[in-house]
Structure 1
């Protein structure tokens, strides 16, 4: 029986977007449980049972095993993971309502369209089509749809590893976000960036304690002044380049494709030719720190006794200790550093049968495809799976228009994904499951 892996992908993506799964942090969001139940229903319709786990009220993640007749039972299960939560969106800023899942200009619009309900929809469309037609994947599949990825995975992937590790027994390889999307170099060549590494996360809280007093008096122990100086030093610091193995492989591929010699110390000039993707790649050339929040005081004429700042820090693989030591030096002795979140960098080799299956499946749908590894600036649930020895790849395949600001879609206003890219991704994933 023939199967159409891309038949449902657009409608599934729209339906998922219509479920508001905004993640506001520790408190329960509006729809993570509803989304998990929706996915469970889609799987149940084709005979795949699943289980929902809650780390807290409505903080729901789903796990399902799919090993139909015809699968190679001697092979280890492939973990396919996607998160169901999304970052907040202000509807007044959007051209189309962020939770309407509208189709316009050839795209599905909405919060989560690329981060990452597109991939969730691709996976569900492919598996439903195969299950209906009785077409097994090469190896068993472990499906995991998580909560809380957008706030550090504490109520999602990390919680599952801590409390239900047995559910992942046997898994040694995984695919998820953010990778597999195309970067057009010329008409006959598109680089498909496969994420093999991601930077570590250090969300820091800086605290300055001083002497409270009247705003009209001189004060040589002003917490705001001390904190502001430390924040300014961190924000202005020029981190030195640290070229990792994954980054070097990507830069070599770009150099070959553009037929230019690429100097890592002047890479930004060459990367600019790649368009908006240069922002993401540029952020992986070194450690980064960005001040994001400031808190102090309650009245003009009262000098507060305490001031606080939040810093979003990211460090390249192998760069954690140097990063922390540099931060300590930059803030000085009068500032206390508290670690709100510290998660490691993740890195694996761009090699092996799984990578070969990615390359084959892409080339079969796009003869101009060339898969290349890259280091991502953000973080994903891969940080949790890496804790238990699972090799993680970002492989959510999309053939994108050359002029689409894909990087700007992540957490941005008017997030959207082309419908033909969704269908392309479903076809690629279908081919991938046949041989992976």
Structure 2
């Protein structure tokens, strides 16, 4: 078994479930200590930071040949979302290997990148490989809940750990998309939508369930959520989405009409769910809470809505949301900003060269992620971010469905491919 597969398997076996609730979140300490031990075994000096009990973060720096150049941050998160209630083919924290895949929660979100980064860091240190510039490796807690005990805390309280860092790579990007037989594009995230987690509260008049009620909090909230579900936010064709769709059109020979981007998205197969979500803002109801007895009309009904807005749309999204929900709905929210950079520069060229060396004829394309990452925290330090966790995927694998889904898994040869690409990138970055 290769080192990168072995490391990924061991990492999956650490249950690092992050529920967002401190009372039920397992914590990342055991996995973080494992990472620190493997780095120290190879000769690294590590920094371990624990903002709250059990929430471990590990940072290590590999000096480069030219310390005057801006350093590169390579980061990944150790926490995972809960396994859910649907049955898995294999237990989610056993790291089963079957059918050419490593199975388990975190296999692609994102212990695969943690394992690849760790394997490459160990190799560079063992073999005395000096990268062109400093490389900072960060293995982080709490990404699945906004990074408050991970990247966000480190940016606020330990910014010196990232001294001199100008660029970063992490999730979600570098994965292959088979455009047609034998032709692959590798998506590099250059932008991601902003996040607004909303808590909605509607008040009404409590009373006996057998009587007539005209001020029912549950009914009023349901009506507001129905309006939100039926509302369509305006279509916006942003630069990374346009460039991605144009690139796919060039590779397939099927023309792309900028006036009808939805037609181009519809041809993307399973990737359409994620790319389609970057054509407009979205707001999806994820949780509901009301009542405590079958024959009592409650005075309060609450809901949680996962809102995602395009770069530059923050104020417009907030205003439009309030208008759609209407009066009588109290809103509170936590938000994280969008992220965006341009698809150019020496690092982008190095990504393209590393992919081309391992997959001749392949091409990298920019795209926008519909979700969010720890880049939202690191951009506060002025760090330019790219999603690049390289994986070559089978053409029939529905990759986007594996994020937070059942039977999460990563191809073994994809892991080994990713380690080779990452090695080339860090040698030439």
Q: TM-score range by the shorter chain?
A: over 0.9
Counterpart pick for 2:13 among 7, 18, 23: 18
Matches within 5 A, 1:35-434: 35-67=31-63, 71-90=65-84, 93-264=87-258, 266-339=260-333, 341-434=334-427
Q: Which moved more, 1:29-38 or 1:371-380?
A: 29-38
CA distance in 2, matches of 1:362, 1:7: 20
Q: Which moved more, 1:89-98 or 1:282-291?
A: 89-98
Unaligned runs of 5+ in 1: 1-5
CA distance in 1, matches of 2:404, 2:398: 12
Offset at 1:26? Answer: 3.6
Secondary structure of 1:93's partner?
coil
TM-score by length of 1: 0.95
CA distance in 2, matches of 1:344, 1:150: 15
TM-score by length of 2: 0.97
CA distance in 2, matches of 1:250, 1:89: 32
CA distance in 2, matches of 1:283, 1:112: 23
Q: Is the 8 A contact 2:117 2:137 kept in 1?
A: no
CA distance in 2, matches of 1:265, 1:310: 34
Secondary structure of 1:96's partner?
coil
Q: Is the 8 A contact 2:90 2:104 kept in 1?
A: yes
Query: Could you say what the CA RMSD is over the residues aligned between the two structures, in angstroms?
Result: 1.4
Q: Closer, same or farther in 2 for the Cα pair 1:433/1:27, shift >3 Å?
A: same
Offset at 1:98? Answer: 0.7
Q: Is the 8 A contact 1:91 1:98 kept in 2?
A: no
CA distance in 2, matches of 1:262, 1:99: 43
Q: Is the 8 A contact 1:359 1:370 kept in 2?
A: yes
Offset at 1:394? Answer: 0.3
Offset at 1:254? Answer: 1.5
CA deviations over 1:19-71 (Å, ceiling 9, x no partner)? 11111214163340001100000000110010111111101111111116xx2
CA deviations over 1:317-364 (Å, ceiling 9, x no partner)? 11111110111101111111111x211100000010010000001000
Secondary structure of 2:381's partner?
coil
